[in-house]
Amino acid sequence: MLWLVESSPCSEITLGLRSISSIKMPLLKQGKPCGKCGGTLRYVSDRCCVPCKLAKRAKWRSENPDLQRAQNKKFATENREYKLAYIRQWHVDNYEHNQQLCREWREANREHARLYDRNRTR
């Protein structure tokens, strides 16, 4: 769950944030416009500009794919219940989109899909 003090166009960005349910404080708030990008949405914890911090983190992830993978694995292991609930919720929220992706994949991989169906029914 993402807590916002005020709504903002920035809140429509895919934030990639997760909050811990025990924290009952807003994660983001409106603040001074950023000197770099002009955005006003900021993290409460460190007052960093949200779009700039997300861009910086995305850059770090692309430069350190192995470290990122290790971090993801560590998080998933330590937060198994959260991760399963997140996946379940994603499938509920993205049912139509997921069905479309499956249809497209089946169209592009007919032979695989045929083998998959055949092996699945056995």
Contact residues toward Zn ion (CB under 5 A) are 34, 36-37, 39, 49, 52
Contact 50, 43 (CB under 8 A): yes
Burial environment of residue 41 by CB neighbours within 10 A (0 to 12, 13 to 18, 19 or more): buried
Question: Among residues 33 and 103, whose Cβ is nearest to Zn ion?
Answer: 33
Which residue(s) pair with 30 in the sheet? 41
Using CA atoms, how far apart are residues 53 and 31, in angstroms rounded to an integer? 14
To Zn ion, the closest distance from the beta carbon of 33 in angstroms equals: 8
Kindly state the smallest distance separating residue 44's Cβ from Zn ion, in Å.
16
In terms of CB distance, is 27 or 49 closer to Zn ion?
49
> Considering the complex, what minimum distance in angstroms separates the CB of residue 8 from Zn ion?
13
Nearer residue to Zn ion within complex by CB, 51 or 113? 51
Q: Which is nearer to Zn ion, 26 or 31 (CB)?
A: 31
CB 8 within 8 A of CB 20: no
Q: In the complex, what is the shortest distance from the CB of residue 35 to Zn ion, in angstroms, rounded to a whole number?
A: 7
- Rounded to 5°, the CA angle 33-58-81 comes to 105
